[in-house]
Amino acid sequence: MTTRPLILVPALLFALTGCNDGVDAGGEPLQGGPAQVQGEVGCLGDCESEATAEPKPAEVAGIDRVDPKGAYGMGLTLTEFTAISTILADPQSFLDQKVLVRGEAVAVCTKMGCWVELKGDEPYQSLKVKVEDGEIVFPASCQGHEIVVEGVVQRLEYPVETHRKYLAAQAEQKGEAFDPETVTEPLVVWQLRGLGARIDS
């Protein structure tokens, strides 16, 4: 079995450890999109480590906001949109570049509000937006709303062992056999580091 770095990572990875409450509007795992990748020691930067005292949802300002409409973060400076499908088709060419995207929120972190998953413009695509804890808090109520986000394209690489865990979980879900020794390459995930966002409807 030959493996290669992944661009689209199913949200099955939300179940590995840590902040694992990301599902689509129907409660099912997403079929595509960079999702939260966990390793042996917690959230690897996606959320606070499980070893620290993580605030309860009620303690995170804005997490329980009923109406998500409004501006978030640093505001928007770009005016030209880049399609999510365009970014995912050749993410390396967008590395470290600031882009403006939009899409329906199909999953959101309901613990810290520190990430949201945007539905792409092509089937089975999505793009994860990760923000610094506290700088932006995406409320749980934003799921199902269209969000405009400005941010920087990031490449994340996780060790072979994390890649094996992901593929093992995927195989288990499908009822297929899996040999972890066949996986010899790291797991690569592309996401957007969110700087500003807006929800109009």
10 compared with 185, residue with greater pLDDT: 185
All domains of the chain in start order, with CATH: 11-199 (2.40.50.140)
User: What's the burial of 3, exposed, middle or buried (CB within 10 Å: 0-12/13-18/19+)?
Assistant: middle
pLDDT value of position 69: 97
The pLDDT confidence band at residue 26, using thresholds 50, 70 and 90, is: very low
The mean pLDDT value for 146-158 works out to 97
Higher pLDDT, 17 or 133: 133
> Residue 191 — very low, low, confident or very high, per pLDDT cuts 50/70/90?
very high
**DSSP letter at 28?**
P
Alpha-carbon distance of 162 to 158, in angstroms, equals 6
Contact present, 156 and 188 (Cβ < 8 Å): yes
Residues 98-125 pLDDT 10s: 999 999 999 999 999 999 999 999 999 9
Q: Distance of CA 162 to CAs 42, 46, 100, 138, 166, Å?
A: 12, 15, 30, 27, 6
Contact between 171 and 129 under an 8 Å Cβ cutoff? The reply is: no
Span 38-47, pLDDT tens digits: 333 224 445 5
Indicate the range of 84-93, 163-172, 189-198 predicted with least confidence: 163-172
